[in-house]
Amino acid sequence: MQRTHYDWLAFSIATIDAPRVVVDDVLLNPFPMINMAGINGMLLPWLVMGVTLVQHHPCLGLGAAVVVQRV
For residue 53, report the phi and psi dihedrals to the nearest 5 degrees: -115, 120
> Cβ(14)–Cβ(44) under 8 Å?
no
Which has more pLDDT, 60 or 22?
A: 22
Q: What is the pLDDT of residues 6-59, one digit of tens each?
A: 887 888 888 899 889 999 999 888 888 887 788 888 888 898 899 999 887 666
Q: What is the pTM of this model?
A: 0.68
Is beta strand 26-29 parallel, antiparallel or unpaired with respect to 52-55? parallel
Quote the pLDDT of residue 9: 81
